[in-house]
Amino acid sequence: MPDEQSLKEAGRDLIGRIEAVMDKVDWSSMVEMARLLPRVRRTFVTGAGRSGLVARSFGMRLMHAGLPSFIPGETITPAIGAGDLLVAISCTGETGYTEYLSRRARSLGAKVIVITADPQSSLAGDADKVIHIPVAAPDIVLRAAVFEHAASLCLDAVFNVLSERLRVDLAEFQQRHANLE
């Protein structure tokens, strides 16, 4: 049965693994994406499972920065097309739903950025740009957990720098923040 010490050690192990991955991320790819985001017409973000939660969080952050963002599958999501960007997040790069949306977005003229732990995956093969989160772990559960945390931190870093560069002030941010909670 887990005790306080074993949970603390497991948490420290995760933080260590995430830090090691963050040191190996190709930040120039993140810079490219950060520069592209304000120039596209709209950004659509997608993923499945926990990667989908990371995608939704990033979409929310883009909205906070004043950039139009949408989640495919939501009833208020408009049609994607030329001038738009799809950011697809998948640890394995083999998630069927995410792969389908990526191929569909490209066929409709949108650019596609894939964030994945496997740059040789099917999903990555269909992308205009691949951002590699270099996670290596002995089992998929640990690998996915480290990927999702590292991807989330990378995307929050993009938001933090973008909002500063776009000069999003606190009052604007607060006006966009949810208030029906």
Positions annotated as catalytic residues are 148
| Whether 111 contacts 86, CB under 8 Å | yes
Decide: helix, strand or coil at residue 114.
strand
What is the spatial order of strands in the sheet that 129-132 belongs to? 69-70, 43-47, 85-90, 111-116, 129-132
SS (H, E, C) 44-95: EEEECHHHHHHHHHHHHHHHHCCCCEECCCCCCCCCCCCCCEEEEEECCCCC
The single-letter code of the amino acid at 159 is F
Which of 115, 95, 120, 125 has its CA nearest to residue 156?
A: 115
**Which residue, 19, 18, 16, 34, is CA-closest to 131?**
34
